[in-house]
Amino acid sequence: MSRTWRRNLPLLLMFVPVILFFVVFKYVPIGGAIIAFKKYNLMEGVLHSPWVGMDNFRMLFSTPTTLEIIRNTLMLSLLSIVVGFPFPIVLAILLNEVGRMWFKRIVQTLVYLPHFFSWIIVSGIIVTVFSQQNGLVNGIWESLTGQSYPFLYREGSWLSIFVGSGVWKEAGFSAIIYLAALSGIDPTLYEAAEMDGASRWRQMWHVTLPGLRVTIVLMLILSLGRVMEVGFDQVYMLQNSSVSDISEVISTYIYKVGLMGSQFSLTAAIGLFESLVGLVLVLGANAVAKKFGSGLW
């Protein structure tokens, strides 16, 4: 045992900063969740603020605004998963089928690049492209129909832009995980399928997708765990008063009411609710996946 410990000591020492990061920034802040059950104020602090029990939760779920932002959060998140989840898989499979390396590198660079842009830059591009006054899309639309269209101020088109921008920004980078999984598929399986007369489409269906099944299930479980988390940056930069009925989500509510309105206990309560829903969804998805032999643990 001591010999194994000494041999692995350098690796364990390299792992220490990771452990410290999670302890300091992930686990220690969990203690602050108790303010969800208190009437928190800055003068008395976390420990000395008076307890109010479940009053914050009762206040939250007795107001129509809370139910609306929960509905919006679920709607936007589920739309992003349903529409955006298959894109990295398809992109990875298509890139894996490309034979010319120079073309593959160019495409990979182009689809990976948006991930490294902040949502400030991405939202600026989107607003410029879809602007009603002088946007590129509206210029084409106006030349075809004779009038402009407020893409960013109508709920249906705003939803499409929101989901599409998320796919454009993250699909390429997410495909890296699936490309790594594809590299682990035994090449002899393709050779055997080709000898049996299987076309490229049949090989993808019967060899590639089964080889990606475990990775797909893992990523889906992780995605369901974040179903109550709609990125603050994306929503906040793209929302406006015309679409506030569908764009106000938990993260923007916490910012406006909690930080700007100093109602820390109220927003801590909805944040705790958000985390509990995510935990339940992860456990449920994993339980279903285990029945098919692809559970996370």
Q: What is the pLDDT of residues 31-63, one digit of tens each?
A: 888 889 998 888 888 888 889 989 989 888 888
- For the record, the structure tokens of 115 come out as 């991930």
pLDDT for position 280 = 87
- Identify residue 168 by its one-letter amino acid code: W
Question: Could you give the domains of the chain?
Answer: 67-250+267-291 (1.10.3720.10)
pLDDT for position 203 = 87
pLDDT for position 295 = 66
pLDDT for position 1 = 57
pLDDT for position 275 = 85
Residues found in the chain: 297
3-state secondary structure labels for all residues of the chain: CHHHHHHHHHHHHHHHHHHHHHHHHHHHHHHHHHHHHECCCCCCHHHHCCECCCHHHHHHHCCHHHHHHHHHHHHHHHHHHHHHCHHHHHHHHHHHHCCCHHHHHHHHHHHHHHHHCCHHHHHHHHHHHHCCCCCHHHHHHHHHHCCCCCHHHCHHHHHHHHHHHHHHHHHHHHHHHHHHHHHCCCHHHHHHHHHCCCCHHHHHHHHHHHHHHHHHHHHHHHHHHCCCCCCHHHHHHHCCHHHHHHHCCHHHHHHHHHHHCCCHHHHHHHHHHHHHHHHHHHHHHHHHHHHCCCCCC
pLDDT tens readout for residues 96-117: 888 788 888 888 888 888 999 9
pLDDT for position 205 = 87
Compute the C-alpha angle 90/93/95, nearest 5°.
105
Buried b (16+ CB within 10 A) or exposed e, 33-64: ebbbbbebeeeeeeeebeebeeebbeebeeee
The ranges of the chain with pLDDT < 50 are none
